[in-house]
C-alpha cells in the first residue's frame, strides 16, 4: 500500500469498508465510527441492534430497555467531545445513552452508559438542527448513575484475524 497516493488510500479505505460490512461490523457506508461503536457495544453488552431506520434508539437489552449509542473518534489534536445529534430528546426516546470515545487507533479511550435523565440535564438544544448535543468529557464517568464501561470495552478480545490485522498495522507504523 502506498501512503503517498490519494487514489491508493481511497481504494484501501473502500476495501476496508467492504470488509467491515461483510463481517457485520458496519451497517452502512457512511462514516464507520457510529457503526463500529454500535457493533462493539451490542456485542459486549449483549444488546440487540434495531433496524437502521429507527431514529429513537439503536439497540435494546433482554428486558426491553432502549439504548442510543453515540461515538467520537479523536484521531488528531481535535479533542472535541461533542457527540452526534440526539433527536426528540424530551419524548424519552431511550432509557440509556452509551457514549464511546475512540483514540486515533480506534482503541476505546473511555466509554459509559448514561441514564436518559442525565443526558437531558447536560445536553443543549441546537435550533439549526432541531436536536440536542451532548458533550462527553471524561468527567461524566464520575457522575452518580453513570456506569463506566471503559474497561469492558478495552478488554474486548480480538479474533485471530483481528489480532493479525492489528499486528500488521503496528508493523506498518514502525
**What is the chain's percent helix, strand, coil content, to nearest 5?**
35, 20, 40
Same domain, yes or no: 88 and 100 = yes
Q: Using CA atoms, how far apart are residues 139 and 129, in angstroms rounded to an integer?
A: 26
Mean pLDDT is lowest, of 10-24, 93-107, 108-122, for 10-24
Q: Is residue 25 part of a domain?
A: yes
Q: Is residue 168 part of a domain?
A: no
The C-alpha cell at 143 is 457522575
Q: Using CA atoms, how far apart are residues 103 and 72, in angstroms rounded to an integer?
A: 9
Contact criterion met (CB below 8 Å) for 88 and 132: no
Question: Which of 124, 99, 115, 128 has the alpha carbon at shortest distance from 34?
Answer: 99
Same domain, yes or no: 18 and 66 = no
**pLDDT of res. 93:** 92
The C-alpha cell at 65 is 430497555
Q: Is residue 166 part of a domain?
A: no
Same domain, yes or no: 56 and 85 = yes
Read off the DSSP letter of residue 90.
Answer: G
Please give the model's pTM, rounded to 2 decimal places.
Answer: 0.80
Same domain, yes or no: 36 and 105 = yes
Q: Is residue 12 part of a domain?
A: yes
- Answer yes or no: is pLDDT of 3 > 70: no
Same domain, yes or no: 95 and 127 = yes
Average pLDDT over the chain, rounded to whole?
86
Residue 151: CATH number of its domain: 3.40.210
Helix (H, G, I), strand (E, B) or coil at 56: coil
Higher pLDDT: 63 or 21? It is: 63
Q: Using CA atoms, how far apart are residues 51 and 48, in angstroms rounded to an integer?
A: 10
Q: Which domain does 23 fall in, by range?
A: 1-29
pLDDT in tens, 54-94: 778 999 999 999 999 999 988 877 677 888 889 999 999 99
Query: How many domains in the chain?
Result: 2
6-22 vs 32-44: helix crossing angle, rounded to 10: 30
Q: Given the DSSP bridges, would you call strands 96-102 and 108-115 parallel, antiparallel or unpaired?
A: antiparallel
pLDDT in tens, 119-173: 999 999 999 999 999 999 999 999 999 999 999 898 765 666 666 766 676 666 5
For 137, the enclosing helix (H) or strand (E) is none
Amino acid at each position: 500500500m502506498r501512503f503517498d497516493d490519494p487514489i491508493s488510500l481511497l481504494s484501501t479505505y473502500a476495501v476496508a469498508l467492504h470488509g467491515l460490512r461483510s463481517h457485520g461490523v458496519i451497517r452502512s457506508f457512511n462514516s464507520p465510527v457510529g457503526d463500529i461503536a454500535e457493533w462493539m457495544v451490542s456485542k459486549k453488552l449483549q444488546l440487540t441492534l434495531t433496524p437502521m431506520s429507527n431514529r429513537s434508539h439503536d439497540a435494546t437489552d433482554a428486558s426491553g430497555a432502549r439504548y442510543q449509542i453515540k461515538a467520537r473518534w479523536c484521531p488528531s489534536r481535535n479533542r472535541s467531545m461533542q457527540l452526534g445529534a440526539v433527536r426528540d430528546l424530551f419524548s424519552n426516546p431511550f432509557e440509556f445513552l452509551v457514549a464511546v470515545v475512540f483514540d486515533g487507533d480506534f482503541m476505546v479511550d473511555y466509554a459509559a452508559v448514561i441514564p436518559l435523565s442525565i443526558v437531558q440535564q447536560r445536553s443543549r438544544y441546537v435550533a439549526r438542527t432541531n436536536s440536542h448535543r451532548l458533550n462527553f468529557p471524561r468527567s461524566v464517568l464520575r457522575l452518580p448513575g453513570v456506569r463506566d464501561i471503559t474497561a469492558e470495552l478495552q478488554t474486548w478480545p480480538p479474533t485471530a484475524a483481528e489480532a493479525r490485522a492489528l499486528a500488521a498495522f503496528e508493523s506498518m507504523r514502525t
